[in-house]
Structure 1
Amino acid sequence: MSSAGETGGPVSSADLLFSSQGTLQKFVDDVFVAILSTKRPPPIAVRFFFDFLDDMAEKHGIEDPETVHIWKTNSLPLRFWVNILKNPQFVFDVQVTDSVDAVLSVVAQTFIDSCTTSEHKVGRDSPVNKLLYAREIPRYKQLVERYYSDIHSAVSGCYQEMNSTLTELSGSFASEMNSLVALHELYKYINKYYDQIIMALEEDAAGQKMQLAYRLQQVAALVENKVTDL
């Protein structure tokens, strides 16, 4: 039997993967550019949170830009976008077959590699899924860097603007959401670190100004009749 390279015999799985990569390249490029584009202003929530991370780094004397990069990467690209890339059925009415799932896993891993600060090294022993986009990853890394830089340079997402946006959203979906259930789910997380959060809010200047510790104590009392000196 002739080999695949000679007269069109059997094609290896690696050959199929590389062939598919060439077909999908433009679509992967378009998705990554759409996710990491700032041609339209990023959502206020993203600007607000990234500003918060920058402020925390400055407050605690963290001057290593790689640390802040990792914070931002873990909070948005890896926690949100990778989940969507890997599981499109979360937002679209589609069924993901095993073969499609395998392809999406490679795309998601490529996105993860593009968000890291370490150099993407591959060798002859690297798995095929690491080799597929090895040439494109440096370019994708530049997209990530520019995305973070553009948001950092943009107008800050101030507290008043964020608060106004949340109030507007709450009003838009007031009839479709059970606020008590949402509050209870949030409080289950807060309750795990209740004492630490109260202490941090009492020591923080902005928290003192807005009486956040007192407000949280009131919420605790409402949710589970926690005994506090209100």
Structure 2
Amino acid sequence: MITPDLESGTKLWHLVKNHDHLDQREGDRGSKMVSEIYLTRLLATKGTLQKFVDDLFETIFSTAHRGSALPLAIKYMFDFLDEQADKHQIHDADVRHTWKSNCLPLRFWVNVIKNPQFVFDIHKSSITDACLSVVAQTFMDSCSTSEHKLGKDSPSNKLLYAKDIPNYKSWVERYYADIAKMPAISDQDMSAYLAEQSRLHLSQFNSMSALHEIYSYITKYKDEILAALEKDEQARRQRLRSKLEQVVDIMTLSG
């Protein structure tokens, strides 16, 4: 409430009256007025940003409109997940879809969408953060295989893109299907790709720090990893178990 005009006796209010807490019915009506005002603003803002959100989702979930070739690592990783599903006789398409969503869109892209300051030298205000959270939630819903039942009491950020999500979901499904149709990446090509990436970014990362993180993970799950290497035929041919044991022993003695 703005300070009342003592001469005229009128009071100025911001958007709605500051209702007495005892008058619950009148208070509900005021809240509804605010919600309707905000919803109109939300819809107008969504209309302004719609093309940018569409372009973002289309770029992420496309192998043809990226402006550059799909990284080999994505194809290699998705094929690995499909191989593991076949190996363990998992034929539920939703499981494969969820694995792929969890390892790339939901782990990487959602983080970038919600935190643009990780990529760009910008300041993220609280208002920008709230807006990006809506986009990120829509992105997550688009990757989900479950149907979201919405009603009049559902959050406005869920209702805002409710009609768009089925279309976005079809983009995600098409993206995974297009990658599955691409030629397989051989282990040799993948190794060459990783070696080239390491060479290009040689001075940008601390390799010893990365190795230490890997070592910390290995020591935590040492028994499970050694047992898995012993069971795997290719790992036995390359004697990976004994090599890993040697590395662990050397690190233990030097540490």
Same fold per TM (> 0.5)?
Answer: yes
SS in 1 for 2:218: helix
Rounded Cα–Cα distance in structure 2 between residues aligned with 1:78 and 1:112? 7
Q: What residue in structure 2 maps to residue 147 of structure 1? A: 175
- The one-letter code matched in structure 1 to 2:171 is L
Shift in alpha-carbon separation, 1:176–1:100, aligned structure 2, 3 A: closer
Rounded Cα–Cα distance in structure 2 between residues aligned with 1:147 and 1:222? 44
Q: Is the 8 A contact 1:70 1:116 kept in 2?
A: yes
Q: Does 1:34 find its partner at 2:59? A: yes
Rounded Cα–Cα distance in structure 2 between residues aligned with 1:157 and 1:132? 40
Q: Does 1:62 find its partner at 2:62? A: no
Q: What residue in structure 2 maps to residue 130 of structure 1? A: 158
- The one-letter code matched in structure 2 to 1:147 is Y
Q: What residue in structure 1 maps to residue 252 of structure 2? A: 224
What aligned pairs does 1:49-198 form with structure 2 within 5 A after superposition? 49-198=77-226
- The one-letter code matched in structure 1 to 2:181 is S
Q: What residue in structure 1 maps to residue 48 of structure 2? A: 23
| Larger Rg belongs to | 2
SS in 1 for 2:132: helix
The total of aligned residue pairs comes to 221
Task: State the identity as a percent.
Answer: 51
Shift in alpha-carbon separation, 1:224–1:146, aligned structure 2, 3 A: same
Rounded Cα–Cα distance in structure 1 between residues aligned with 2:194 and 2:246? 21
Rounded Cα–Cα distance in structure 2 between residues aligned with 1:46 and 1:210? 25
Rounded Cα–Cα distance in structure 1 between residues aligned with 2:228 and 2:198? 27
Q: Is the 8 A contact 1:114 1:144 kept in 2?
A: yes
Q: Which runs of 5+ in 2 are unaligned?
A: 1-12, 17-32
Shift in alpha-carbon separation, 1:100–1:176, aligned structure 2, 3 A: closer
Q: Is the 8 A contact 1:120 1:137 kept in 2?
A: no
Shift in alpha-carbon separation, 1:90–1:141, aligned structure 2, 3 A: same
Cα deviation for residue 76 of structure 1 reads 0.4
Rounded Cα–Cα distance in structure 1 between residues aligned with 2:203 and 2:157? 46
Deviations 1:98-137 (A, max 9, x none): 1110000000000000000111321111110000100100
- The one-letter code matched in structure 2 to 1:94 is I
- The one-letter code matched in structure 2 to 1:55 is E
- The one-letter code matched in structure 2 to 1:75 is C
Q: What residue in structure 2 maps to residue 14 of structure 1? A: 39
Cα deviation for residue 159 of structure 1 reads 1.3
Rounded Cα–Cα distance in structure 2 between residues aligned with 1:86 and 1:206? 41
Cα deviation for residue 167 of structure 1 reads 1.0
- The one-letter code matched in structure 2 to 1:143 is W
Cα deviation for residue 13 of structure 1 reads 1.8
What aligned pairs does 1:193-204 form with structure 2 within 5 A after superposition? 193-204=221-232
Cα deviation for residue 186 of structure 1 reads 1.6
Q: Is the 8 A contact 1:114 1:137 kept in 2?
A: yes
SS in 2 for 1:12: helix
Q: Is the 8 A contact 1:184 1:223 kept in 2?
A: no
Rounded Cα–Cα distance in structure 1 between residues aligned with 2:195 and 2:242? 21
